[in-house]
C-alpha cells in the first residue's frame, strides 16, 4: 500500500498537500476521528480518498446527493481509484456488491438513508473498512442550514463499527453547528480541524445604503472587470440591471423567475465576458466557475455570514486582487427579523436569529472585517488584515460604529 505522500504524487499527480490536508490525513491514518471544516474548493475529497488508498479496507463515503456521488465516482475513477456508488439509481448494484465483498473497491459512496437499511448493514458487516467519511456533515445538525433527518440514521452504523476512523467534512459550520456535529457523530472535541478560510486577495468593504444605484455606479467606475451584484428580490435585480446598464456597461439580470433560455444565455454571456455586470439573486453563482470575477457587491444584507462568505468568495478565484462591497440598511434587519418570526418553523428560529445577529456584528464592527469572518469559522486571525475598509480607513466617531455615526449625524 502506498504512503499518503506517494498516493498524492502518483495517483493524483499533485506535488504537495494544501492547507491542512496533511493534518487531516495523518489523523485518519492514525485511526483517530476527525471533523474537518474547510471551505469549498479547499480539497476535502483528497482527505478521505488518500486514506482509502493507504489503509486496509474500503473507504465508505456518505454523501447526500446522488448527482454529486456520480461526479465523485467519475473523477476518482479518472485518477485510477476503484470507486463505485450504491444508490437506487445504479443498475449495477449487484456488481458493486460483489466488488465490495471481493475487496476490490477503494471507495464506496452511499446515501445516508441506505446506510440504515438492514440489507446494507448485513453487506457492510463483513467488509473491512478503511474509514467512514461523512461528507456535507452539517446536514446532521439542526443548527446547520441544511438539516437532513437521514443523517441521524448514521449513528447506528457508527456505533456498530467503533474501530473504524470517522472523518466528517463540511464547508459551512458555525460554532454551534460544529459542536453539534461532534456530539452527533461521536467525535472527540480535539478532533476538530478547521482552516483555510482566509481569502487574502479579497478586499472586504461594508457600508450603509444611501442611494444604492449611485453607490453601485461608483463601484463599477472603480472596477472595470466583470462583477456580480446581488440584489434581494427578482424585481430589484431587473430594476438595478436597467439602472446600471444605462451607464453603458454591459449588464444582465439573473433570477429564478426568468425564462430558462434567457437565464442560460445571460450566464453564458457573463462567463465569456471580461467586463460584464451580472445583477442577480442568490440563485446565481452555484456551480459557476469564472475565475476572473473582479468584484462582488451586495445591494442588501446576505442571510448569514456563511452566505456572505460564499457569495463574496466568487470574486477573485484566480488569486488576483478583487473587491467585495456590501451595502446594508437598518430595514434589512427589520425585514429579516419579521421573516424569522413569521415564516420560519419554530425549531429553527434560534439558529436563524443567531445567524442574523452574527451579521449585525459583522456590519457594525469598527475593527477588522476579515478577523471577524475568520473567527466565525473558528480560525485565529491576526488582529488586522490591512485589506478591508476598517483596516484601510479606521472609522472615526465616538465609538466608531457605523450605526452610532449615523445616529449622531441625523
Ligand atoms: P472541496 O470538497 O473541499 O470543495 P474538492 O475536494 O472538490 O474540494 O477539491 C477541489 C479541487 O482542488 C479539486 O480540483 C482537487 O483536485 C484540487 N486539489 C485538492 N488537493 C489538492 C492539492 N494538494 N494540490 C492541488 N490541487 C488539489
Ligand atoms: Mg466536497
Which atom of ligand 1 sits closest to the CA of residue 14? 24
Q: Are the C-beta atoms of residues 307 and 146 closer than 8 Å to each other?
A: no
Centre of ligand 1 to C-alpha 311, Å, is: 19
Q: Are the C-beta atoms of residues 228 and 294 closer than 8 Å to each other?
A: no
Which atom of ligand 1 sits closest to the CA of residue 12? 16
Protein residue whose Cα sits closest to atom 13 of ligand 1: 43
Burial of 322 (0-12, 13-18, 19+ CB in 10 A): buried
| Mutation to probe ligand 1, out of 8, 19, 46, 138 (largest number of atoms < 8 A from CB) | 46
Q: What is the pLDDT of residue 49?
A: 97
Q: Are the C-beta atoms of residues 180 and 173 closer than 8 Å to each other?
A: no
Residue numbers in the chain where pLDDT is lower than 70? 173, 397-410
Q: What is the pLDDT of residue 397?
A: 64
Which atom of ligand 1 sits closest to the CA of residue 42? 3
Which atom of ligand 1 sits closest to the CA of residue 75? 16
Protein residue whose Cα sits closest to atom 17 of ligand 1: 43
Dist CA 173 CA 303 (whole Å): 15
Cell of 25: 490525513
Give which of 105, 167, 101, 99 is closest to 137, Cα–Cα: 167
Give which of 49, 2, 42, 1 is closest to 25, Cα–Cα: 49
Indicate the pTM of the whole model.
Answer: 0.75
Quickly count: other Cβ atoms within 10 Å of residue 77's Cβ. Answer: 13
Q: Are the C-beta atoms of residues 141 and 172 closer than 8 Å to each other?
A: no
Burial of 51 (0-12, 13-18, 19+ CB in 10 A): buried
Give which of 304, 302, 226 is closest to 267, Cα–Cα: 226
Centre of ligand 1 to C-alpha 313, Å, is: 16
Query: In terms of DSSP H, where are the helices of 189-345?
Result: 212-222, 234-245, 260-272, 305-312, 330-343
Centre of ligand 1 to C-alpha 288, Å, is: 16
Reported ipTM:
0.98
Which atom of ligand 1 sits closest to the CA of residue 39? 3
Cβ neighbors of 351 (< 8 A, separation 6 or more) are: 142, 143, 144, 145, 176
CA distances (Å), origin 101, targets 80, 98, 125, 185, 395: 20, 5, 10, 26, 64
Which atom of ligand 1 sits closest to the CA of residue 44? 3
Dist CA 406 CA 397 (whole Å): 10
| Tens-place pLDDT, residues 37-92 | 998 888 999 999 999 999 999 999 999 888 889 999 999 999 999 999 998 877 78
- Number of residues in the chain: 410
Q: Which strands, in side-by-side order, build the sheet including 129-134?
A: 83-86, 107-110, 58-62, 129-134, 166-170, 34-37, 192-194
DSSP 388: B
Cβ neighbors of 199 (< 8 A, separation 6 or more) are: 312, 313, 316
| Mutation to probe ligand 1, out of 5, 43, 168 (largest number of atoms < 8 A from CB) | 43
Protein residue whose Cα sits closest to atom 25 of ligand 1: 14
Centre of ligand 2 to C-alpha 67, Å, is: 13
| Tens-place pLDDT, residues 158-177 | 999 999 999 999 987 678 88
Q: Are the C-beta atoms of residues 57 and 108 closer than 8 Å to each other?
A: no
Q: Are the C-beta atoms of residues 64 and 85 closer than 8 Å to each other?
A: no
Protein residue whose Cα sits closest to atom 12 of ligand 1: 43
Q: What is the pLDDT of residue 190?
A: 94
DSSP letters spanning 92-120: THHHHHHHHHTT--SEEEE-HHHHTSHHH
Residue 205 half-sphere exposure, CB side, CA atoms within 13 Å? 19
Dist CA 393 CA 390 (whole Å): 5
> Which residues are near ligand 1 (CB < 6 Å)?
14, 17-18, 21, 38, 40-46
**Nearest ligand, measured from the Cα of 36:** 1
Q: What is the pLDDT of residue 408?
A: 47
Centre of ligand 1 to C-alpha 322, Å, is: 22
DSSP 355: H
Centre of ligand 1 to C-alpha 270, Å, is: 25
Centre of ligand 2 to C-alpha 335, Å, is: 33
Amino acid at each position: 500500500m502506498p504512503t499518503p505522500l506517494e498516493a498524492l504524487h502518483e495517483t493524483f499527480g499533485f506535488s504537495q498537500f494544501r492547507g491542512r490536508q496533511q493534518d487531516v490525513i495523518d489523523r485518519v491514518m492514525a485511526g483517530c476521528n476527525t471533523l474537518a471544516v474547510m471551505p469549498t474548493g479547499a480539497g476535502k475529497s483528497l482527505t478521505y480518498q488518500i486514506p482509502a488508498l493507504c489503509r486496509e479496507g474500503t473507504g465508505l463515503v456518505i454523501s447526500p446527493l446522488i448527482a454529486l456521488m456520480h461526479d465523485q465516482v467519475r473523477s476518482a475513477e479518472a485518477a485510477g481509484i476503484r470507486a463505485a456508488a450504491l444508490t437506487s439509481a445504479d443498475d449495477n448494484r449487484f456488481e458493486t456488491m460483489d466488488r465490495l465483498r471481493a475487496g476490490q473497491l477503494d471507495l464506496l459512496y452511499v446515501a445516508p438513508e441506505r446506510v440504515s437499511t438492514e440489507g446494507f448493514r448485513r453487506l457492510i458487516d463483513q467488509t473491512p473498512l478503511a474509514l467512514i467519511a461523512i461528507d456535507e456533515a452539517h446536514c446532521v445538525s439542526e443548527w446547520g442550514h441544511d438539516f437532513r433527518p437521514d443523517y441521524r440514521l448514521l449513528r447506528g452504523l457508527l456505533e456498530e463499527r467503533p474501530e473504524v476512523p470517522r472523518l466528517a467534512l463540511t464547508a459551512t459550520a458555525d460554532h454551534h453547528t460544529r459542536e453539534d456535529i461532534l456530539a452527533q457523530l461521536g467525535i472527540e472535541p480535539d478532533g476538530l480541524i478547521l482552516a483555510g478560510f482566509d481569502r487574502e486577495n479579497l478586499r472586504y468593504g461594508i457600508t450603509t445604503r444611501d442611494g444604492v444605484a449611485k453607490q453601485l455606479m461608483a463601484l463599477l467606475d472603480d472596477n472595470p472587470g466583470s462583477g456580480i451584484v446581488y440584489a434581494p428580490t427578482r424585481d430589484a435585480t431587473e430594476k438595478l440591471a436597467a439602472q446600471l446598464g444605462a451607464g453603458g456597461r454591459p449588464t444582465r439580470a439573473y433570477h429564478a423567475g426568468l425564462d430558462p433560455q434567457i437565464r442560460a444565455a445571460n450566464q453564458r454571456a457573463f462567463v465569456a465576458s471580461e467586463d460584464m455586470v451580472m445583477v442577480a439573486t442568490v440563485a446565481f453563482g452555484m456551480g459557476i466557475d469564472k475565475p476572473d470575477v473582479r468584484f462582488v457587491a451586495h445591494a442588501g444584507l446576505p442571510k448569514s455570514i456563511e452566505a456572505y462568505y460564499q457569495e463574496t468568495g466568487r470574486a477573485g478565484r484566480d488569486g488576483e486582487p478583487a473587491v467585495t462591497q456590501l451595502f446594508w440598511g437598518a430595514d434589512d434587519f427589520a425585514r429579516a427579523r419579521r421573516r424569522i418570526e413569521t415564516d420560519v418553523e419554530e425549531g429553527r428560529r434560534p439558529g436563524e436569529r443567531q445567524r442574523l445577529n452574527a451579521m449585525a456584528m459583522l456590519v457594525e464592527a469598527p475593527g477588522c472585517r476579515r478577523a471577524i469572518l475568520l473567527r466565525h469559522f473558528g480560525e485565529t486571525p491576526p488582529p488586522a488584515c490591512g485589506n478591508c475598509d476598517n483596516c484601510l480607513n479606521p472609522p472615526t466617531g465616538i465609538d466608531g460604529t457605523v450605526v452610532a455615526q449615523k445616529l449622531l449625524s441625523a
